[in-house]
Structure 1
């Protein structure tokens, strides 16, 4: 690694190469020399890593022409930087076939027509390479500190691009969907539209992307934060490849830009206290001045809808210290807001210690207002593995309300979302949508005492018998109704033989009547079964018969 890498053309200017001659590969003088290696054998595939300047007396080239060609082909295939041959007793000339091959692959061949000390060459070049490496590390450290200092200053991103330009003399841009784009120097503006259009199509998992457009080459590195790509640092170059020093420098710059973006977003979230007050007032059904809070709402439209989305965060093991909750709340708010915006929502967010409340507004035609695919995608991304660093210590549950248009219905949507979470917690449903709760939507609105009386009116005798013995009549009834009266299916689900099932059904018929599978009797019994299951989870102390 070096800010100014050692090239073959630089090697030819060194003292020990004053009498050397370049006889092939004139177009390969910009090959980088990473090290030198004395190589006198023909089988060396595992001995070089690429970038080595090979020194030889020609001992390994004293063979037939095919072996000489294979030797050179191996050097080219293993990406050696070049070949230096001492012309003398072991090797008196370079065949024209080797010269032609080297020219075709832009592979430099250098000859010494007098005896040279390879030890002097290696010592000189290795010393130079190591010194350059140390200087590069020092420069990287200095630039990293500079980037961090600039990240604390106003307009820090532009200042970082200026420093990068001064260090490389290349144009730089920072492009982002969420924030303002920057470029430096002024000539870099001509690449802005191209980079914005290209970066919009990127879904980078790798930390580096190379783009070539004719003679223009770009290095594109994502700026990551909170498990997402917030923007891209782009460097224009006339060369298709960049040195390791340049790439490491760009990585350090992206880290500082990420710190700037993180700080700006956290400041924005801290300024959202009015938004939090607005949502809390709405979910409590309090009157609000919409004009006062209009900046937190999208422009009213005939096709504007919303759902209330609630996330419950449970820290059951108390792994998060109290003083860290505020920072976690801000990070969660930024992450959730960013996900929803990218999926086309207009989110209004309130984050409390154990709860995230979102008014997820969206535009849709009437027949598309359900919009479940987009909500499923949003929830999936929020709870995906890339969010684990924020939620891994917490138990996360989600509930989503029905679709509404008027802001006065927020308190209803909040109750619906909480009900969906409650039903998941009690394992009475696996869906996050309130609409999928079915009959529980009605039962949850009833007084528990009234529900208990309804259960007693239809199931008391069965439940009393189950308490006194192990007939399991209630479970048999629930499964029998679920299987729509199919005896084989019921027996299989209960893991009992059919004779046992027949006896239980006879007992049920003696209590409920032989027509208990017929409407409307069946409907009443099914409602009572669901009411009992709900009371078992929500008010078990009431269940006394």
Structure 2
């Protein structure tokens, strides 16, 4: 690695190559020389890594022509930089077939017609390469500090592009969907729309992408923050592939740009106090002046809908200091807001000690107002992109309300989302949607005493028998109902033989009636079962039979 890599053309200018002749591969003089290697054997696949300047006296080339051709093919295939041959006792000329092959692959062949000391060549070139490497490390350290300093200054991204241009003489752009795009120098502007269009199509999993359009070569590196791509640093270069030094330099620049974007987003989130105030007033049912808060709401539309989404984080806040938790929550909000905005939502967000509340507005056709696919996709992306910095060691629980249009329904939507989360915690429901709670939506609004009486009316005798004798009549009833009266399936799920099941069903029929599987008796019993399960989780102290 060096800022100015050693090329074959540079090697030919060194002292020990004054008498050397280039006899093939004139178009390959820009090949980079990473090291030198003396190679006198024909089988060397595992001995070179690529980029070596190969030195040989021709001992391995004395064999038949096919072996000579295979030797050169092997060098080209393994990415050697060039071949230097000492013409003398072991090898007195380079055959025309080898010259033609080298020209076809732009692979330089250099000959020495006088005796040369390979040890002098390797010592000279290795010293140069190592010194260049050390200088590059020093330069990288210096420019990294420069990037860090610029990241704290106004208009830092543009200044970073300017430093990159000064260091490489290439054209640079930074493009992003969320922030202003930048370019430097002015000539780079003509590539702005091209890069914006291209980057919109990208779903980069690789850290670097190389792209060539006619004679223009581009390097595109994603700028990552909070587990997401926030933009792309683009370099237009004359070379198809930049040097390792340039790539390392670009990676350091992207880290500094990410810090600028992170700081700007955190400042924006901290300035959302009125947004937080707005949501808090709505969920508490307080009167509000909508005109005062209009900037936090999308334009009214007949097809504008919203759901209240709540992310619950249990009691993890207690494991952090208040200052650290506020910082964690701030980053969490930035992360969530970015994802749902990209999915077409217009979010209004509030963060509280243990939860994040989102009014997720969206436009949809009347027959598509549920929009579950987008909500499911948002939740999946949030869960999938959890990183050590985001929601660290935190178990998230999600609750999503019904669909509303009137802003006056936010309080109701918040209660629905919270209820959904509570039902998940109680293991009475697995869905994140309030609509999927079924009959629990009715039972939750009932007085506990009234629910207990309902349970007693239908299930008391069964529950008392189980308490007294240790039987499993209640479990049998639940499974039998779930299996829709299928005896084989019921027996399999209960892990009992059919004769035992028949005896239990006969006893249930004696208590509930022979037609307990028929409507409306079955509906009454199933509701009683749901009410009993709900009371076990929410009011176990009153369950006395």
Per the normalisation by structure 1, the TM-score is 0.97
In structure 1, the gaps of 5 or more residues are: none
Worse-superposed segment, 110-119 or 179-188: 110-119
Structure 1 stretches of at least 4 aligned residues deviating more than 6 Å after TM superposition:
none
Q: Deviations over 1:134-153 (max 9, x none)?
A: 11111100000000000000
Shift of 1:428: 1.3
Contact kept in structure 1, 2:317 and 2:353, CA below 8 Å:
no
1:57–1:86 Cα contact (<8 Å) kept: yes
CA contact (8 A) 1:320 1:393 kept: no
* Per-residue CA distance 1:24-78 (angstroms, 9 max, x = gap): 1111111111111111222222111111111112222222222211111111111
The Cα offsets for residues 350-374 of structure 1, whole Å up to 9 and x where unpaired, read as: 1122111111111000100011111
Q: Which residue of 1 aligns with 2:276?
A: 276
Structure 1 distance, partners of 2:113, 2:488, is: 97
Corresponding position: 1:425 with 2:425: yes
Q: Distance in 2 between matches of 1:185 and 1:108?
A: 36
Paired with 1:395 and 1:63, the residues of 2 have a C-alpha distance of 69
2: distance between equivalents of 1:120 and 1:506?
101
Aligned residue for 1:140? 140
Q: State the 1:412 CA deviation.
A: 0.7
Check the 8 A contact 2:317/2:325 in 1, yes or no. Answer: no
Q: Which consecutive unaligned segments of at least 5 residues does structure 2 have?
A: none
Q: Which moved more, 1:533-542 or 1:111-120?
A: 111-120
Q: Is the 8 A contact 1:315 1:394 kept in 2?
A: no
Bigger shift: 365-374 or 382-391?
A: 382-391
What is the RMSD of the two structures over their aligned residues, measured on CA atoms? 1.4
Once the two structures are superposed, the pairs formed by residues 277-316 of structure 1 within 5 Å of their partners are: 277-315=277-315
- Give the match for residue 474 of structure 2: 474
Q: Give the match for residue 197 of structure 1.
A: 197
Q: Does 1:539 align with 2:539?
A: yes
TM-score, with structure 2 as normaliser: 0.97
Q: State the alpha-carbon separation in 2 of the partners of residues 315 and 521 from structure 1.
A: 43
Q: CA deviation at 1:333?
A: 0.3
Q: For 2:513 and 2:81, how far apart are their aligned partners in 1?
A: 94
1:250 maps to which residue? 250
* Superposed displacement of residue 442, structure 1: 0.3
Alpha-carbon contact 1:319-1:393 (below 8 Å) kept: no
| Higher mean displacement: 385-394 or 518-527 | 385-394
How many matched pairs?
A: 545
Task: Give the deviation of 1:388 after TM superposition.
Answer: 5.4
Q: Would you say the 8 A contact 1:471–1:504 is kept in 2?
A: no
What SS does the aligned partner of 1:264 have?
helix
Matches within 5 A, 1:128-277: 128-277=128-277
- Does residue 1:407 correspond to 2:397, yes or no? no
| Equivalent in the alignment of 2:454 | 454
Instruction: Report the Cα distance in structure 1 between the residues aligned to 2:217 and 2:187, rounded to whole angstroms.
Output: 15
Given that residues 315 and 393 in structure 1 are in contact (C-alpha distance below 8 angstroms), is that contact kept between their aligned partners in structure 2? no
With over 3 angstroms needed to count, the CA separation of the structure-2 counterparts of 1:317 and 1:333, relative to structure 1, is closer
Alpha-carbon offset, residue 472 of structure 1: 2.1
The structural deviation recorded for 1:517 is: 2.4
Partner of residue 83, structure 1: 83
The SS at the match of 2:63 is coil
Tell me whether 364-373 or 9-18 shows the greater mean CA deviation: 9-18
Aligned residue number for residue 515 of structure 1 = 515
| SS at structure 2 position matched to 1:395 | coil
Aligned to 1:348: 348
For the residues of structure 2 that align with 1:175 and 1:129, how far apart are their CA atoms?
A: 36
Counterpart CA distance in 1 for 2:12 and 2:262 is: 49
Tell me, yes or no, if structure 1 residue 121 matches structure 2 residue 101.
no
- Tell me by how many angstroms 1:511 deviates: 2.4
Distance in 2 between residues matched to 1:38 and 1:514, nearest whole Å? 96
Q: 1:239 to 1:316 in 2, by over 3 A?
A: closer
* Secondary structure of the structure 2 residue equivalent to 1:391: coil
